[in-house]
Amino acid sequence: MTPLPSARALDQFFLEARCKLLDVAAIFDRIGRGDEQEAIASDPRAAKLRQAVEILLGDAANKAELIQQLFSLAYDPDWPRPQPRF
C-alpha cells in the first residue's frame, strides 16, 4: 500500500485536525480553570494527557501508536477471559 502524499494528507485532514486540536485545547482550558489544581497535579490521568501532548510535539513517525500505548494497560497473560452472558 502506498502512503498518501504529505501535501494531499494535509489538504485532506487539516480541518479535522484543527477541530480536534481546538477540542483538546478547550478541555485543557476547563481543567486549568478549576479550583482544585493541587488534586490535578498528582492525578496520573492529567500526567498522561501532558505526556500525550509531548508525543504529539515530538518527531516520532508513530505518534498514534505511542499514544495508544501510553493509555493502554500492560499485557497480562493471567487476565480472565470475558464470560458470555446468558
User: What are the tens digits of pLDDT across the range 19-36?
Assistant: 999 999 999 999 989 888
CA dihedral 11, 13, 16, 20 (to 10 degrees): -120
Q: What span, in angstroms and rounded, lies between the C-alpha atoms of 73 and 57?
A: 23
- What pLDDT score does 77 carry? 92
Under 8 Å between Cβ of 46 and 40: yes
User: What are the tens digits of pLDDT across the range 24-78?
Assistant: 999 999 998 988 888 888 899 999 999 999 999 999 999 999 999 999 998 899 9
- What pLDDT score does 9 carry? 94
- What pLDDT score does 41 carry? 85
Domains of the chain by residue range: 1-34, 40-74
All residues at 6 or more sequence positions from 67 whose CB lies less than 8 Å from its CB, including other chains: 52, 55, 56
Q: Quick one: cell of 5?
A: 502524499
